[in-house]
Amino acid sequence: METVFSKIIEGTIPSKKVFENERILAFYDIEPAAPVHVLIIPKKFIASMNDVTPEDLPLIGEIHAVAQQIAIELGIAETGYRLINNCGPDSGQAVPHLHYHLLGGAKLGALVG
Ligand code: 5GP
């Protein structure tokens, strides 16, 4: 399915990349909600968390490892950060391509906890 993120993956929409390998792309969010706001996405099309299958689990694990690495590289590992996935209408998921928001660089408001 073609989305803004598939266009970013193929390069027809430009992005400020933070990390890329054969399976995963990370880039700065165009409307940052925190001083550090990076989106981490699989290059494989997965519409949402509802569509993750058991065969995708290594990829999901790798996304977590990439998030940890980016947090270290951007200097927010010690101060703290949040990794968010929005799934479906009630969450506000706007782009139907699985993605994780990596947020940090300031005290983040609590949604839970
Ligand atoms: P969602 O609400 O679906 O979880 O988050 C989608 C995110 O994608 C939003 O934070 C939005 O700012 C970001 N976004 C939408 N279009 C673009 C774009 O063209 N480039 C970048 N870098 N981010 C985008």
CA atoms of 24 and 69, how far apart (whole Å)? 13
pLDDT, tens only, 16-32: 999 999 999 999 999 99
Please report whether residue 15 resides in a domain.
Answer: yes
Q: Is 5 in the pocket of ligand 1 (CB under 6 A)?
A: no
pTM over 0.90: yes
Structural contact between residues 66 and 19, judged by C-beta atoms closer than 8 angstroms? yes
Q: Is 56 in the pocket of ligand 1 (CB under 6 A)?
A: no
Q: What is the CATH number of the domain that holds 10?
A: 3.30.428.10
Please report whether residue 52 resides in a domain.
Answer: yes
Please report whether residue 112 resides in a domain.
Answer: no
Q: Total structural domains in the chain?
A: 1
Half-sphere exposure at residue 45, Cβ-oriented, CA atoms within 13 angstroms: 11
Please report whether residue 35 resides in a domain.
Answer: yes
Instruction: Give me ligand 1 centre to Cα 53, in Å.
Output: 24
Edge-first strand order for the sheet with 100-104 is: 17-20, 24-28, 36-42, 100-104, 81-84
Is residue 37 flagged as an active site residue?
no
What is the span of the domain harbouring residue 40? 4-104
Interface ipTM: 0.99
Please report whether residue 64 resides in a domain.
Answer: yes
